[in-house]
Amino acid sequence: NAGVMQNPRHLVRRRGQEARLRCSPMKGHSHVYWYRQLPEEGLKFMVYLQKENIIDESGMPKERFSAEFPKEGPSILRIQQVVRGDSAAYFCASSPNLAGVTDTQYFGPGTRLTVL
Amino acid sequence: GENVEQHPSTLSVQEGDSAVIKCTYSDSASNYFPWYKQELGKRPQLIIDIRSNVGEKKDQRIAVTLNKTAKHFSLHITETQPEDSAVYFCAAHSNTGNQFYFGTGTSLTVIP
């Protein structure tokens, strides 16, 4: 059973370009979380999605950032018009999220975004 | 919302000694508390978790204790080894909410 997959692992963008980060959850997992981690800092929640539905996006900046988790294919975190402050590691995590039970989330390897 | 505080931020121990990392939380509805280990440049890895219906859980050299009344939980690593060196994060989650709230991390160094 493959773990959570993320690609690309490293992404370099110039200011003003767009960044697309992809996350494929573990098999059987229908819920995805995205986090941002700055160097030597903790994990900051951004958004929580299930298939075709955003559950909670309270941690995601209102401008330039968007996320989706379509019925088919990976979850995508999209950052438009990137700025240097967007440079960070972006992790996704997936969980099966069975009804009524908080389930463990498993993390992907992360995408390290560098904005020049 | 929930607020998770973690202490200490850095911890150095001699190989073979024990290490203890403590976290407090504010939301009494939180009922699930995982601990993650993150090595440099790697993903956070779940090492142990505890639910609010138990007070202690152990897995070999790692144990977690939970005090619901005081709203704090702790990670205990015994007989530490150099490969235990990493950043450790605690987290809290409630079935009534959507987010996992993470502590700010503890950088553990085990000195050979």
Over range A9-23, report the average pLDDT: 97
In terms of CA atoms, which chain B residue is nearest residue A38? B104
Q: What is the pLDDT of residue A95?
A: 87
* Nearest one of B99, B88, B84, B3 to A48, comparing CA atoms: B99
> A47, A33 in Cβ contact below 8 A?
yes
A28-51 pLDDT, tens digit each:
888 999 999 988 788 999 999 998
φ, ψ of residue B84 to 5 degrees: the values are: -80, -10
Q: Which two tokens stand for residue A100?
A: 């009524």
Backbone angles phi, psi at A103, to 5 degrees: -105, 150
pLDDT of residue B35: 97
Look at residue A104 in the predicted model and tell me its pLDDT: 83
Distance CA B95, CA A49 (A): 16
Is any Cβ of chain B less than 8 angstroms from the Cβ of A107? Answer: yes
By CB atoms closer than 10 A (0-12, 13-18, 19+), residue A53 is exposed
pLDDT at A105 (0 to 100): 87
Report the distance separating Cα B39 and Cα B63, nearest Å.
Answer: 19
Could you tell me the mean pLDDT of each successive run of 10 residues in chain B, 112 residues long? 92 97 94 94 93 90 95 97 96 82 94 95
For chain A, say whether B46 makes contact (Cβ under 8 Å): yes
The answer to whether B54 and B68 have CB atoms below 8 angstroms apart is no
What integer best gives the mean pLDDT of chain A?
Answer: 91
**pLDDT computed for residue A92 by the predictor:** 96
Q: Do B46 and A42 touch (CB under 8 A)?
A: no
Chain B CB within 8 Å of residue A39 CB: no
Buried b (16+ CB within 10 A) or exposed e, B31-60: bbbbbbbbeeeebbeebbbbebeeeeeeee
pLDDT at res. A102: 62
Query: Which of chain A's residues have a Cβ under 8 Å away from the Cβ of B99?
Result: 45, 48, 56, 58-59
Contact A4, A94 (CB under 8 A): yes
The pLDDT value given to residue A101 = 61
The pLDDT of residue A81: 97
A73 vs B1, higher pLDDT? A73
pLDDT of A15 above 90: yes
d(CA A54, CA A116): 30
| Residue with the larger pLDDT of the pair A2 and B4 | B4
- φ, ψ of residue A84 in degrees (nearest 5): -60, -35
Reported as a single tens digit per residue, the pLDDT across A92-115 is 999 886 655 667 889 999 999 999
What is the three-class DSSP state of B84? helix
